Amino acid sequence: MRVVFVALLIQITAQPPSTPIAPPWDKGIQPISRDSYYNAIECGKKGGANPPCVFYDTGLCKNDDFTLALFTPYKMVAYEVWQAVRNKQEPPMPSYAEAQRTRITLGVTPVAGSKNPITGVSITRGGKVVKPVTQSLEAGGGKFIFEFSAFAPTEGITLGLAGRARTLMCAVPQPVLRLFR
């Protein structure tokens, strides 16, 4: 008797944020600069439950198995300020040096009820596979750290989300990548 395993592959496409992000941005994820640092502080000061400039990645690659979240230098600064404003505290001046050391982390969290724990993440761009620099798996999800070049908005990318039961491939078109901060 011969057993054949069939890998399930699901293809999805990333959608741009449904709410316009202000101020407009079209440079994609970059190392922190003086301009983006102060822009991120202003973004965090907007407050609210889900400001699009902080949570631009909400619903990225929406699927039944995983929720994705990007952690970038910009988001680190904006989120720290947003947390303080949300808690009615004085907005801080986040560490610029720490933001300079921050790389891109793709956080993968299992959706409630999912039976497909993540086993790995990769990015394909221009026919070449880019693996994370480091990764850690935890409770069905994980954190995957990439260099900036993996998310450069020079062309679209495909996120490969390998789960134990099936793999999801999420196409992220160049116009969507350009919106990331």
Q: Is residue 2 part of a domain?
A: no
Instruction: Report, as an integer, the average pLDDT of 25-41.
Output: 94
Residue 3 counted as domain residue = no
1 belongs to a structural domain: no
Is 27 or 18 the better-scoring residue by pLDDT?
27
Count structural domains, the chain.
1
At residue 17 the predicted structure's pLDDT band, cuts being 50, 70 and 90, is: confident
Residue 48 lies in a domain: yes
Q: What is the mean pLDDT of residues 4-10?
A: 56
Tell me the mean pLDDT in the region 79-83.
97
The residues, ordered by sequence, that sit 6+ positions from 67 with a Cβ below 8 Å of its Cβ are 108, 109, 110, 111
Hey, what long-range contacts does 15-20 have (CB within 8 A, 24 or more apart)?
A: 15/59, 15/60, 15/62, 15/176, 16/175, 16/176, 16/179, 17/52, 17/56, 17/57, 17/58, 17/59, 17/179, 18/59, 19/52, 20/52
Give the whole-number percent of the chain exceeding pLDDT 70.
95
Is the pLDDT confidence value at 3 over 80? no
- 114: containing domain: 8-179
Residue 167 binned pLDDT confidence (cut-offs 50, 70, 90): very high
- The rounded distance, in Å, linking the Cα atoms of 60 and 57 is 5
- 121 versus 18: the higher-pLDDT residue is 121
Which band of pLDDT confidence, cut at 50, 70 and 90, is reported for residue 5? very low
CA 153 to chain centre: 14
Tell me if the pTM is above 0.85. yes
